[in-house]
Amino acid sequence: MSLSSHKTIPEGATLVDVRTPAEYAAGHIEGSLSIPLDTVPQALERFRSFQGPVVLICLSGNRSGQAAQWLQAQGLRNVENGGSWLSYRDEPV
């Protein structure tokens, strides 16, 4: 992993933003999906349907970390905490 401030999205990954709808509307990465943290349990089957890696992002990495831990506890192995969405904002999806 690079020590630069910008992260690279793995090829074929689904980028999921777990911030609130208001935060997402105020600015997000083009091509990312909005699934707010409080709706992640209801979206479990949607997460299971994603092909390839799933990178979860939020403002600081806290909420995306919570979502990643919960999804991994449900048996999903292709999810990771991507941290802050600001680290990816210049990356194409």
- Could you give the residue numbers annotated as active site? 58
Cα gap 63→83, rounded to integer Å: 9
**3-class DSSP state for residue 14?**
strand
Cα gap 74→67, rounded to integer Å: 11
